[in-house]
Structure 1
Amino acid sequence: MSRGVAIHSWSGSYYINSEKRWENGSLSLTRTMVYFVSNQSKESLASFRLSRIMEIKMESSSFIFSTLTVLEEGNVKHWFGSLKPNRVVVYNVLEHFWRERLLSPTSEARGAEGQPSKGRELINLVAESQRRLEDTGMVLSHQGEQFDNVMQGLEKIDSDLGVADKLLLELESPSWWPFGKLPWKTQQDAKAEDASRAAAAAASATGKGSGRNKVIASIPAVVNKGGNSDLKPGCLLVLVSSLEVRDTNCQLLHRFERNEVDEIRVHSPYEITVRQRFIGKPDICYRFLSAKMPEAMSVLEMQYKKKVELTSEYCAFKATPVSSPCDTEGPNWNEGLLQKCQETDLPLEVPAGALSQLQVHVLQPSVSQSEAQELKQ
């Protein structure tokens, strides 16, 4: 079957349980699948959908050999070893795409994987609430930092004003001046009024500029810096005036101001590179791989229209048609889907008064025993 262009591939080895040996090859990740192809026979030794993954772990084989294991539905366990650059990078990428596909499958995934189960729908509702809460917490944390900085600045200004007030009182009424008000006091009052007007204007300008820090989009991503292969989980924030790179603890790694972004290279719908060029020193470059990248690309194309560059990899990726229910699991799967669709079609003639009941029955199927067990888990 046609798997499409791989989002990412890594060289490694796969343990063939039936033959009790390791086979060298390449592990690849596509939009909806993970598969391993042998270097020698060019045959697929393992192929499974992201939706069928139950668990991804880093384990050891014979207490020495570090491996990455993937547990598939049906208690089928796949062992991958000798992964390059290392198994942590592969784990971060696979775990990111698996989690995003599990928690918030796109319309494309729904079309390719069929109707989601009741347990999956429940997980989606909880995950969506969690994501909204994380976004709200991030915005509140950012606003809290700004408020703390403002309070520190106000305290320092208040302290300086207290010292200045004492000095002014001593200057205005020194013990040796017998005539009351000093002659230059009127000039100082005029200067103080001008300064207050300037401060008010600056505060107004600062209030207008606060909208520049508004978060437009926030997506989880696997990030690496400088073109190295060390991919780590983090997130990409698209603001009105900048792009921010943060780690899993929301700590700022780097901020690209809008006028500092020189190039955004799109390698695939899920992978981009943001670059800031310098003269006389190395460029600052970050690479982002995310299952949610299409959501951010619509904003990036509007804000950085002239700086977005589509690579040949992206063109090859887009030239491959999106997986559909008719080209996923082979002929047997196709026949099963066709039979299922035929079984759920409405009859051509429906007795009067029974249409509403029939529609309710079709649109809201009863919960099966397996779905009840899944909800219980």
Structure 2
Amino acid sequence: MSQHVPIHSWSGSYYINSEKRWVSGTLSLTRTILRFTSEQNQESLASLRLSRIMEIKMESSSFIFSTLTVLEQGNIKHWFGSLKPCRAAVYHVLEHFWRERLLSPTEPHGAEAPLSKGQELINLISGAQRRLEDTGIVLHHQGEQFDNMAQGLEKIESDLNVADKLLSELECPSWWPFGKLPWKSHQEAKSEAAAKSSYNRGAGKGQKVITSIPAIISRVGSTGDMKPGSLTVLVSSLEVRDANGQRLHLFEREEVDDIRVHNPYEISVRQRFIGRPDICFRVLSAKMVEALSVLEMQYKKKIEFTRDYAVFQMTPTTTPGSPEGAGNIWSAGHGQDTDVPVEVPAGELTQLQLQVLQPTVTEAEAQELKQMLQQLKSLALEAETELERQDEALDVLGSSTDHTTMNINRHTRRMRKLM
């Protein structure tokens, strides 16, 4: 399977400077390369590494022809035209991935030397640690919601006790009030204020931000509408905003019908309606993996992975900020003969054999890996403790809900007898 699986592709044309002509074909963006392939013979006419790109601009040719130019190191300019659905949409996507690669902390400077095995393991464990931390944040907010539910049930129980006393007084014929008791209206007002305060606190906690990533946003059904913005994952909703911070749409958790994962960088979120068009946004981001780790847990019954995503899973995993193929730590060195004869004098060892004799993981990397694994173990134990606590809270909530429902039904029957 090719390592150059495209993240996104567009039909267009490329200007061959040596022949002074335009050639139609396909412009495709992979994890680390921008490539143009001719339509006639599928020949690769241009292949640019994102790390070598100096500038991306929207310009016009001498014939007042709207084009997209990419300036490569060495002052080499590449011209792309007739891009579909539109030039602006292609520009926003290319600029997003190019800038995220430049801002990535793992971006190597100068020559792109492959990472050592120790660094690859550190990056792998670091990603797992971030996912576990995101999971812990979600578990913490979920525990807070359970605590709020328990407090609400306690308040209901308290109100039911008051209602039981009032019903007992109303059922007694020895004295019957001829008007509404003032202390009763005061109690009702107090209960309404407390309930409203509890609701506001719960609503405020439900809007806590778990993660927010920059993205290219497009609404399905709008031709060429691909603009920069952001995707924000909240505890109880998803929020899509434009580049100015204006909210485009808010998906409540129960309103989301499905989330389709097209590849590790692109998802679509859909909310279905009866009698009117669905609301569906397509989100493309170089940092989508940060949001996917949370979405997989929050919407595990609504998330769907497409066949295109399976193609990406079959290729070495890299990020826009890492060298291509660096994430495939298990296949590195596979099929290579690493045996070095012991009898060979040190002066006759080749450079490749010297690299083989060097330790795969240094002592400093091993110590860092040890500390990270200890942190992972601590996070996993904390998550397990929180899950056990939440299981107990769910049992208590279940029994309290049954008891409260029984009391409400009993009070309802008594009130009907009084009417």
Give the TM-score range, shorter chain.
Answer: 0.5 to 0.7
Q: CA deviation at 1:275?
A: 0.6
Matched, 1:99 2:83: no
Q: What 5-or-longer segments of structure 2 have no aligned partner?
A: 116-177, 318-323, 329-349, 365-419
1 CA distance for matches of 2:303 and 2:197? 36
Q: Does 1:200 align with 2:201?
A: no
Distance 1:187 1:341 in 2: 94
Q: Which structure carries more relative contact order (alpha carbon 8 Å, separation 6+)?
A: 2
Deviation (angstroms), 1:106: 5.4
Question: In the alignment, which of 213, 220, 223 is matched to residue 219 of structure 1?
Answer: 213
RMSD, aligned α-carbons: 3.2
2:31 corresponds in structure 1 to 31
Distance in structure 2 (CA, Å) of the matches to 1:63 and 1:7:
31
After TM superposition, give the deviation of residue 321 of structure 1 in Å: 2.5
Question: Which deviates more from structure 2 when the two are superposed, residues 220-229 or residues 232-241?
Answer: 220-229
Aligned pairs, number? 270
- Deviation digits for residues 273-331 of structure 1, max 9, x if unmatched? 1011112211111100100101100000000001011111111122123432699xxxx
Aligned partner of 1:310 in structure 2 is 305
Change (3 A) 1:218 1:347: closer
Residues 341, 282 of structure 1: alpha-carbon distance in 2 compared, 3 angstrom cutoff: farther
The separation in 2 between residues aligned to 1:303 and 1:85, in whole angstroms, is 33
**2:417 aligned partner:** none
> What amino acid sits opposite 2:192 in the alignment?
A
Q: What is the 5 A alignment of 1:248-327?
A: 248-322=243-317, 323-324=324-325
- The one-letter amino acid paired with 1:51 is S
In terms of mean alpha carbon deviation, does 204-213 or 11-20 score higher? Answer: 204-213
Tell me the CA shift for residue 208 of structure 1.
3.2
CA deviation map 1:216-269 (0-9, x unaligned): 010111111124442111110100010011000111110000000010011000
Offset at residue 102 of structure 1 (A): 0.7
- Residue identity matched to 1:307: K
Distance 1:191 1:341, change over 3 A: farther
Offset of 1:192 from its aligned partner?
A: 3.4
Percent identity of paired positions between Structure 1 and Structure 2: 64
2:301 is paired with a residue of what secondary structure? helix
3-state secondary structure, aligned to 1:51 = helix
CA distance in 1 between counterparts of 2:293 and 2:45 reads: 38
Distance 1:272 1:106 in 2: 24
Give the residue type in structure 2 aligned to 1:31: R
CA contact (8 A) 1:114 1:325 kept: no
Task: List aligned pairs for 1:1-377, cutoff 5 A.
Answer: 2-62=2-62, 64-104=64-104, 113-114=112-113, 187-188=181-182, 191-228=185-222, 229-322=224-317, 323-324=324-325
Q: Which contiguous aligned blocks of 4+ residues in structure 1 show a shift greater than 3 angstroms?
A: 112-116, 184-190, 339-348
* Whole-angstrom CA distance in 2 between matches of 1:273 and 1:95: 21
Question: What is the Cα deviation at residue 341 of structure 1?
Answer: 8.6
**2:316 alignment partner AA:** P
Question: Helix, strand or coil for the counterpart of 1:285?
Answer: strand
Tell me, in whole angstroms, the C-alpha distance in 2 between the residues paired with 1:343 and 1:249.
54
Inter-partner Cα distance in structure 1 for 2:89 and 2:188: 60
Distance of 1:105 and 1:47 partners within structure 2: 24
Cα separation, 2, equivalents of 1:253 and 1:37 = 35
Task: Quote the Cα distance in structure 1 between the aligned partners of 2:188 and 2:112.
Answer: 69
* Cα distance between partner residues in 1 of 2:220 and 2:41: 36
